A and B are shown apart, each in its own frame.
Chain A
Amino acid sequence: MNTSDLGVPRQNGELVFDAPWQGRVFALADAVVEQAFGGDREPFRQELIKAIAAEPDRPYWESWTAALEALVPALPQRPAT
């Protein structure tokens, strides 16, 4: 068992994001959840479930991207701030 990976920015040797765009689209969804939905993840999660169900074999972060795109029409024009 290799325990030396636990303290570094990897998950048991696996990088969190395979490509920079994956990290960016992950963070974009986080921003939308926080800024547009007050921390409620459910609207995004429902879109992610739909996106994965629509194309189960599509790469995960592409489904994530599709879910965020689908959420855009529901976003407020301006943030509540």
Chain B
Amino acid sequence: MSESAHHPAATSPVEQRVAALEALLTERGLIPEGFIEQTIHRYESEIGPMNGATVVARAWADPQYKQRLLADGTAAIAELGFGGAEGDHMVVVENTPAVHNVIVCTLCSCYPWPTLGLPPAWYKDPPYRARMVREPRELLAEMGCELPEDSEIRVWDSSAEVRYLVLPQRPAGTAGMTEDDLAALVTRDSMIGVARL
């Protein structure tokens, strides 16, 4: 067990429980060699909102890609090489001057991992999960996303069956920009729908 020698002794109760789980699952043969480290590395360095930003920038730059993205999110996102766990049933919803979309998971933390990485802390917290359904306009304003009174807000509840990604509106004054430059404008929060660009 040279691997565990690299880790400091578990101290808090929850760390002890996690260490016990790891020992048990390893004993059952369910943890392939190096799996834990590889998974953590992947989510910390390769999977994140930069992937979703690439998708959004392509949709802004290529109208035909945008059509495919809105018609079949999973397939269009896979064209760019993103897919896998928690990204099987992607639906992309487009913001327009009249309609603002925002995503939530009311029951747990369903989220499009391949395009946005793991959800931020507030996405998993009870106040966000409950209030985004009940009073989206108020909560969005509190999060710094003020919307015109006459705009429609659509709240999409993610589940195991469907993961949503918001296609933000392309900012004005970006006509001549390359896809890479466009992608750099796209924030995680704009793809959740709690911010505008």
Task: Spell out A's residues near B (CB within 8 Å).
Answer: 1, 3, 6-7, 9-12, 14, 16-17, 20-21, 23-28, 30-33, 35-36, 39, 41-42, 45, 48-49, 52-53, 56-57, 60-62, 65, 68-69, 72, 75-79, 81
Contact = CB atoms under 8 A, between A and B. Distances in A.
Interface stretch (B30-38, B59-67, B74-82): B30-38
A62 B124 CA distance: 12
Interface stretch (B14-22, B94-102, B147-155): B14-22
A11 B49 contact: yes
A9 B49 contact: no
A32 to B, nearest CB: 6
Given A16-B117, A26-B39, A32 B44 contact: no
Contacts of A1: 185, 187, 197
Contacts of B18: 21, 24-25, 28, 65
Interface string B53-92: 1000000000000000000000000000000011000000
Given A25-B21, A56-B126, A61-B14, 5 more contacts: A6-B186, A9-B48, A16-B117, A45-B108, A45-B110
Nearest to A66: B17
Given A17-B40, A41-B160, A52-B108, A31 B24 contact: no
Contacts of A7: 50
B191 to A, nearest CB: 10
B121 interface: yes
B85 A33 contact: yes
Nearest to B181: A3
The size bracket of the interface on B is 35 or more
B107 A62 contact: no
Contact of B107 (A36, A39, A49, A75): A49
B7 A79 contact: no
A37 B80 CA distance: 28
18 contacts: A3-B187, A6-B186, A9-B44, A12-B187, A21-B10, A21-B19, A24-B36, A26-B40, A27-B35, A35-B29, A41-B160, A48-B109, A52-B108, A57-B126, A62-B14, A69-B17, A69-B21, A77-B28
Nearest to A64: B109
The 5 closest A-B pairs by CB, nearest first: A27-B39, A23-B40, A9-B44, A27-B36, A60-B124
